[in-house]
Amino acid sequence: MVEIFPLKSADAAYSKISGMLSTLGDPFTRIISPKEYQSFRIGSDGNLQGVGLFISVEPRTGHLVVLSCVEDSPAARAGIHEGDELIEINGERLDGIDSEAAALKLRGRAGTPVTVKVHSGKDVGRESGTREVNIPRGYIKLSPISRTIIPHRTPDGHLTKTGYVKLSAFSQTAAADMANTIHELESEGAHSYILDLRNNPGGLVKAGLDVAQIWLDGDETFVNAVDREGHTLPINMVDGHAITHDPLVVLVNEGSASASEILAGALHDNGRAILVGHKTFGKGKIQSVTELHDGSALFVTVAKYLSPALHDIDQVGITPDVQCTTDMLSSPKESLLKNKSSVSSLEADSCIMVAEHELDVQESKGTAS
């Protein structure tokens, strides 16, 4: 390259290498600068200054889309939603810009503004079209887990407790935090569980494996890796010890990507959980990451993931067992909900309602242990 291209700067070298990699037709195979690579690694410790967006390249279109917003973040307060397409940042078009470079433009010192042009698709209660939003950056704390107990009355009138756990990202602490959370919910009397992976953009796949071993026993297949020659290699758990065998429902949606999809597929295909929600994002690539001598990094897609039952994930996604609609709820359940004087936001969530219904079905079949 040095002989062919009279490169005068690192940026020129990155640009030439990016051009070469683009011929592979894979938007996730890329080179990123030292600053972008440092930014990429921030998610592991969970602290940053920015607007609170998780973004990714949509593989079918190459567009940058919002996977999720951190709750109560500057972006969420500005009305940006999952599924929105990013078009410009501070007047600069994002054509051909990867997610790390775009994220770097969104980050900055708390209190400084950033202007984002977004396109919103048609959605219930929202207007479609392009708009420009001025967002003040702030301190973003990425806490991977939130939890609560949801009181639940079964069809036969018994009052039980459902443990609700939302996992927002697969950070280095996700598995340890999950284990502590399940132990706490068990001690508080939870008899069933809802694991919410909606709008979880993924993260460390190793963290997903560690989380799976909290819910599954033994050496079950976690995921399958398929190389470019078509060879399939199962990746198994190592001596999994489930903390609980109580009934489990996993919630997914269009913002559930990468490690979220892998975990959902593992729990589903191994018979541990029912999936409720909407079809997932469809990002199932395996990448090698090589840090170069100047601090930049080369990301190369080397294989793809299949679920334990050999269902393709990449550019396909995972279709849940049950869609989020209250139409299938039984009349007694609907009556109970309508008669509540005070219903929390979780209890009013249609996916939570459907999940509770599915937990009732599991328990009626004697699946709880």
**pLDDT class of 364 with cuts at 50, 70, 90:** confident
> Residue 256: pLDDT above 50?
yes
The tokens of 73 are what?
């973040």
Question: Among this protein's residues, is 333 annotated catalytic?
Answer: no
Q: What CA–CA distance (Å, rounded) separates 167 from 202?
A: 10
Q: How far apart are CA 363 and CA 101, in angstroms?
A: 48
Contact 191, 160 (CB under 8 A): yes
The predicted pLDDT at position 97 comes to 87
Task: Round to whole Å and give the CA distance between 312 and 305.
Answer: 7
CATH-assigned architecture of domain 145-367: Alpha-Beta Complex (3.90)
Q: Identify the bridge partners of residue 141 per DSSP, sorted by sequence position.
A: 47
Q: Quick one: which of 54, 55, 64 has its CA closest to 97?
A: 64
The tens digit of pLDDT for each residue in 279-337 reads 999 999 988 889 999 899 999 998 999 999 999 999 999 999 999 865 544 433 333 33
DSSP-assigned letters across all residues of 45-70: TTEEEE--EEEEE-TTT--EEEEEE-
Question: Which candidate in 117, 283, 285, 333 is catalytic?
Answer: 283
Q: Which of 89, 143, 136 minimizes the C-alpha distance to 113? A: 136
Note whether 49-141 and 145-367 share their fold: no
Q: Which of 40-54, 154-168, 243-257, 307-321 has the lowest mean pLDDT?
A: 40-54
Q: What is the DSSP string of 83-127?
A: TPEEEEETTEE-TT--HHHHHHHH--STT-EEEEEEEE--BTTB-
CATH class of 49-141: mainly beta
Query: pLDDT tens across 139-197, in order?
Result: 887 768 989 999 988 888 889 999 999 998 888 889 999 999 999 999 999 999 999 99
Residue 86 has pLDDT above 90, yes or no: yes
pLDDT in tens, 96-108: 888 888 988 999 8
Residue 342 burial (C-beta neighbours within 10 Å; 0-12, 13-18, 19+): exposed
* Contact status, residue 266 vs residue 212, Cβ threshold 8 Å: yes
The Cα–Cα gap between 208 and 161 comes to 26
Query: Of 104, 80, 324, which is closest to residue 198 (Cα–Cα)?
Result: 324
**Residues 129-140 pLDDT 10s:** 899 999 999 988
Cα–Cα distance, 298 to 300 (Å, whole number): 6
Q: Which carries the bigger pLDDT value, residue 55 or residue 308?
A: 308
Residue of 68, 171, 258, 307 with catalytic role: 258
How buried is 368 (Cβ within 10 angstroms: 0-12 exposed, 13-18 middle, 19+ buried)? middle
Of 39-43, 60-64, 293-297, where does mean pLDDT reach its minimum? 39-43
The whole-angstrom distance between residue 245's C-alpha and the CA centroid of its chain comes to 24
Reported as half-sphere exposure (CB side, CA atoms, 13 A), residue 287 has a value of: 23
Residue type, 163: G
pLDDT of residue 100: 81
Average pLDDT over the chain reads 85
Partner residues linked to 276 by β-bridges? 251, 322
- Tell me what percent of the residues of the chain surpass a pLDDT of 90: 55
Q: How many residues does the chain have?
A: 369
Residue 46 burial class via C-beta count within 10 angstroms: exposed 0-12, middle 13-18, buried 19 and up: middle
Return the domain boundaries, the chain: 49-141, 145-367
* CA separation, residue 137 to residues 54, 97, 318 (Å): 14, 21, 34
- Residue 258 falls in the annotated catalytic set: yes
Q: Which of 74-83, 186-195, 264-273 has the lowest mean pLDDT?
A: 74-83
